[in-house]
């Protein structure tokens, strides 16, 4: 398969193309191994993307997984290097990402078998089955381990770990997506009530040191933002909550049903980061 004459014969037979039409830059056989490294971190060295995991390309998630790895690791490195979090936070990187990644590997391997059928009758049956019903909607749930709010029994309940809402808001005369208007890249807190009156002064100060973006649907709040497209009202109503905290990688850290729960959630974030001074 890597001999030039084989490539030219295939191109002529399938597409009617020859040397006058195109130039072959390279021909190579691509293997599709599925591998996951046992250890993604050794000291100051981290693996990400194909260095940490490979899978067949049939879910189109190889490069996506690499970007998710980088996004997960980047905000944790940022906080640790700025002295705002302890080294232990970095150990949640593999824990979270591997749990997200393993199901994708299994799905991709399954699709590999379906795509590469060589039996014509089996391929016809596959095609007929796919045409007879629409494919299920794609859904990639977030991690249910790591730096997230855990219930009393130690579990993580959806939608914690899943992607946070991203709605259109208006604040200080500017209209746009929440992250564009209030600034992305850090933690975010959105509440139906006024976080300024709900949280302790020390909590607010520590959150602002972390660079958190705070939004409130209460017009009297200094953090007021207008929920232009109703994204946050709809989310609050659907979950039966009044506030949420999202991580810098846009995954929901936790939900709060009232002011007291929000104070507890904030303490959980701050304690979970474990600043180096407290580690000593």
Edge-to-edge strand order for the sheet containing 226-227?
A: 174-177, 168-171, 226-227
pTM for this model (two decimals): 0.85
d(CA 46, CA 215): 34
Q: In the prediction, which pLDDT does 277 show?
A: 57
The yes/no answer on whether domain 31-132 falls in CATH 3.40.50.300 is: no
The yes/no answer on whether domain 168-279 falls in CATH 1.10.287 is: no
- Which residue matches tokens 């060589």? 118
d(CA 148, CA 161): 7
Residue 45 token pair: 């060295």
Q: Are 198 and 143 in contact (CB under 8 A)?
A: no
d(CA 202, CA 189): 16
Domain boundaries, the chain: 31-132, 168-279
- Quick check: 173 pLDDT over 60? yes
Mean pLDDT computed over every residue of the chain: 92
d(CA 4, CA 176): 53
**Tens-place pLDDT, residues 239-262:** 999 999 999 999 999 999 999 999
């Amino acid at each position: 398969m890597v001999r030039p004459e084989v490539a030219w014969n295939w191109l002529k037979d399938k597409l009617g193309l020859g040397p006058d039409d195109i130039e072959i830059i390279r021909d190579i056989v691509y293997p599709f191994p599925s591998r996951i490294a046992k250890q993604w971190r050794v000291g100051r060295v981290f693996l990400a993307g194909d260095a940490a995991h490979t899978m067949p390309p049939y879910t189109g998630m190889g490069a996506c997984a690499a970007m998710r790895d980088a996004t997960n690791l980047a905000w944790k490195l940022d906080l640790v290097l700025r002295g705002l979090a302890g080294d232990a936070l970095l150990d949640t990187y593999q824990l979270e990402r591997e749990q997200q990644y393993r199901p994708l590997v299994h799905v991709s391997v399954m699709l590999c078998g379906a795509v590469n059928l060589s039996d014509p009758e089996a391929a016809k049956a596959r095609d007929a089955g796919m045409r007879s019903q629409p494919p299920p909607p794609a859904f990639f749930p977030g991690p249910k381990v790591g730096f997230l709010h855990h219930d009393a029994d130690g579990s993580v309940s959806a939608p914690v770990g899943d992607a946070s809402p991203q709605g259109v808001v208006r604040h200080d005369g500017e209209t746009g997506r929440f992250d564009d208007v209030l600034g992305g890249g850090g933690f975010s807190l959105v509440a139906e009530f006024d976080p300024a009156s709900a949280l302790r002064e020390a909590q607010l100060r520590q959150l602002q040191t972390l660079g958190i973006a705070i939004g409130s649907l209460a017009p009297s709040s200094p953090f007021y933002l207008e929920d232009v497209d109703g994204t946050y009202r709809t989310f609050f109503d659907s979950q039966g909550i009044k506030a949420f905290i999202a991580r810098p990688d846009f995954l929901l850290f936790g939900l709060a049903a009232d002011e007291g729960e929000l104070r507890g959630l904030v303490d959980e974030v701050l304690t979970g980061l474990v600043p180096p001074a407290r580690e000593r």
